[in-house]
């Protein structure tokens, strides 16, 4: 059934509307209705912010350890070193995000090119 449907031009748009837009925005709407009663300084909100922060942190670690696409071809230690030294540079530079990002990128690209040259 899906085989025949998947061949029509409009099927991908149904997928994008239902499985993409609706499946994503529904969480934001639930968040609006659930969050409406919380006060800015309540203990409950501190907890919710902890949950959200830990969740995004988990996503960050996943993007570095189990990346999608071509980044998955690089050795794990190179990605960890690039991100780790980038974050250290960010802290040392009195929390300048641009410094952290640049250091990580320079390490990744130079490490990648060096490894390519060796192999």
Partner 1 sequence: MPPPDRAVTFDAADQDLPGRVWMLRGARAAISLPAFILTAAFVGYAGLARESGLTLVETLAMTGLIWALPSIVVLTGALSSGMGLIPAAIAVALASVRLMPMTIAFLPLIKIPGKTKTWQLLLASHFVAVTAWVYGMKHLPNFPKEGRLPFFIGFGGAVTCFVFCITGIAYLMVERMPPVVAGALFLLTPVYFLCSLWGAAQLSVDKVALAVGLVLGPVLYLYVPGLDLLWTGLIGGTVAYLGTRIIRRGLS
User: Among residue numbers 100 through 119, which ones bind partner 1 (CB under 8 A)?
Assistant: 100-101, 104-105, 108-109, 112-113
Does 92 bind partner 1 (CB under 8 A)? Our answer is no
Contact 99, 85 (CB under 8 A): no
Angle 84-90-91 from CA coordinates, rounded to 5°: 95
64, burial (CB in 10 Å: exposed 0-12, middle 13-18, buried 19+): middle
Shortest Cβ 77–partner 1 spacing (Å): 14
Alpha carbons 112 and 62: distance in angstroms, whole number: 20
Looking at the Cβ atoms of 40 and 118, the one nearer to partner 1 is 40
The interface with partner 1 within residues 4-33 (CB under 8 A) comprises 6, 12-32
Q: How far is the CB of 88 from partner 1 (least distance, A)?
A: 11
Exposed e or buried b for every residue in 13-40, given b needs 16+ CB within 10 A? eeeeeeeeeeeeeeeeeeeeeeeeeeee
Q: Which is nearer to partner 1, 32 or 118 (CB)?
A: 32
Sketch the per residue contact string, 39 through 78, with partner 1: x for CB under 8 A, - otherwise: xx--x-xxxxxxxxxxxxxxxxxxxxxxxxxxx-xx----
Query: Which of 4, 10, 34, 77 forms a contact with partner 1 (CB under 8 A)?
Result: 34
């Amino acid at each position: 059934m899906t085989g025949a449907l998947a061949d029509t031009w409009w099927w991908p748009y149904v997928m994008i509307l239902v499985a993409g837009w609706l499946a994503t925005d529904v969480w934001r709407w639930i968040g609006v209705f659930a969050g409406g009663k919380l006060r800015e300084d309540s203990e409950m909100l501190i907890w919710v912010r902890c949950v959200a922060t830990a969740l995004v942190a988990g996503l960050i670690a996943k993007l570095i350890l189990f990346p999608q696409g071509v980044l998955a071809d690089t050795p794990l230690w190179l990605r960890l070193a690039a991100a780790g030294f980038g974050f250290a540079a960010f802290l040392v530079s009195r929390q300048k995000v641009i410094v952290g990002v640049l250091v990580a990128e320079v390490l990744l690209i130079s490490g990648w090119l060096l490894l390519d040259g060796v192999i």
